[in-house]
Amino acid sequence: MTSIFVDGNPYRFYASATNEKSFLEQKVISQYYAGSLPIKLGDKNKRVLDLGSGTGANTWWLREVFPDHTIIALEPSIGQIDQVDFLDYKIYNSSFEEFDQKNFEFILCSHVLQYINTNPKKFIQKIYDSLVPGGEAWIIQQTQYGLNEIIQQVKPHLKNNLFDDWLLFNDYALLVDNLKLPYETDIMHTSIQGIDYKNPTNAQKKILKFILGGIPYKNLPSEARDALGKLPIQKRIYHPNGIIKIKRPENDSRIISNNI
Ligand SMILES: C[S@@+](CC[C@H](N)C(=O)[O-])C[C@H]1O[C@@H](n2cnc3c(N)ncnc32)[C@H](O)[C@@H]1O
């Protein structure tokens, strides 16, 4: 886990500014009502895992969409858990690598893979192994557009190594492909308010702080600020996000070792 999540505030602020969380909620709801999720209308007591839940930006709506089911949030950082608003929240303070529960019908793993410090292929295999036969996991990752363009612009001038092995949606889809897991992909056309890169407002500085790995705007090297200033200003920043939907077949009831 990287230090950026020790304090829950930067991510919480970013998550409330993007429309991504509500787009994701709409995707899940529409597939649920279309009958194309493993959890069907009228089902009860199925198991849902919000893997790397952070401050619960997705957990709260998962609980509203699936009130008759068990929603488990898994989050290793106390700094994130401390920022959660609701009290009756079933949360496990653990990394996924150390987590030993399985048999989930639905696993949401949203913007987690780029922050883990273990082998992503083994992590993805463990996600698959944690599904019931017939279960489904959605892995959400940034594409090369939008926020990643900000990172790439600034990266050569940063002194930390947070973005050295920064992978994107396509890279993770390739890993899933290499693992020979059954999957489909989808895209969400999500966006966040534009940023005046030369003279960001305080709110925009907070968004930039999260995007740029937790470095406060005032601490950015001047070359990094100059590089930011070259980016075109738009009213909204479109940052399409990819969904990798891993679907465990009904007839795959193998029990596979979960060691990472
Ligand atoms: C960018 S936040 C995403 C929060 C939430 N899923 C969302 O999409 O809004 C990434 C979260 O992954 C968590 N995380 C990092 N490594 C993890 C691991 N090995 N197992 C579980 N969670 C992890 C971090 O602590 C952080 O809260």
CATH of the domain at 91: 3.40.50.150
Q: Is residue 62 part of a domain?
A: yes
Beta bridge partners of 136: 106, 247
How far does the centroid of ligand 1 lie from the alpha carbon of residue 67, in Å?
23
Mutational test site, ligand 1, from 22, 115, 117, 121, max ligand atoms within 8 Å of CB: 115
Tell me: pLDDT of 260 over 60: no
Q: Is residue 113 part of a domain?
A: yes
Tell me: pLDDT of 257 over 70: no
Pairing of strands 91-92, 70-74: parallel
The single-letter code of the amino acid at 145 is Y
Ligand 1 within 6 A of CB of 57: yes
Helices and strands, number each (H, E), in the chain: 9, 9
Q: Is residue 68 part of a domain?
A: yes
Work out how many domains the chain is built from and give that number. 1
More confident residue, 93 or 137: 137
How far does the centroid of ligand 1 lie from the alpha carbon of residue 42, in Å?
31
Model pLDDT for residues 199-240, shown as the tens digit of each residue: 999 999 999 999 998 889 999 999 999 999 999 999 999 999
- Given this model, what pLDDT does residue 53 score? 93
Q: Is residue 200 part of a domain?
A: no
Q: Is residue 87 part of a domain?
A: yes
Q: Is residue 214 part of a domain?
A: no
If DSSP codes are grouped into helix, strand and coil, which group holds residue 104?
A: strand
Q: Is residue 201 part of a domain?
A: no
Point out the least confidently predicted range of 150-159, 239-248, 251-260.
Answer: 251-260
How far does the centroid of ligand 1 lie from the alpha carbon of residue 131, in Å?
19
Distance, in Å, from the CA atom of 1 to the CA atom of 117, rounded to the nearest integer, reads: 6
Distance, in Å, from the CA atom of 260 to the CA atom of 258, rounded to the nearest integer, reads: 6
| Average predicted confidence (pLDDT) for the chain | 91
Distance, in Å, from the CA atom of 21 to the CA atom of 4, rounded to the nearest integer, reads: 20
Ligand 1 within 6 A of CB of 81: no
Ligand 1 within 6 A of CB of 148: no
Which structural domain range is residue 118 located in? 3-153+164-193+238-247
Nearest to 59 by CA among 35, 37, 87: 87
Pull the structure tokens for residue 229: 């200033």
Q: Is residue 11 part of a domain?
A: yes
Tell me: pLDDT of 159 over 90: no
- Given this model, what pLDDT does residue 5 score? 79
Pairing of strands 191-193, 236-238: antiparallel
Distance, in Å, from the CA atom of 18 to the CA atom of 140, rounded to the nearest integer, reads: 14
- Given this model, what pLDDT does residue 254 score? 78
| Residue 50 Cα: closest atom of ligand 1 | 6
The sign of the torsion formed by the CA atoms of 71, 55, 27, 124 equals negative
- Given this model, what pLDDT does residue 1 score? 39
pTM: 0.94
pLDDT band at 4 (very low <50, low <70, confident <90, very high): confident
Model pLDDT for residues 16-71, shown as the tens digit of each residue: 899 999 999 999 999 999 999 999 999 999 999 999 998 889 999 999 999 999 99
Distance, in Å, from the CA atom of 134 to the CA atom of 140, rounded to the nearest integer, reads: 20
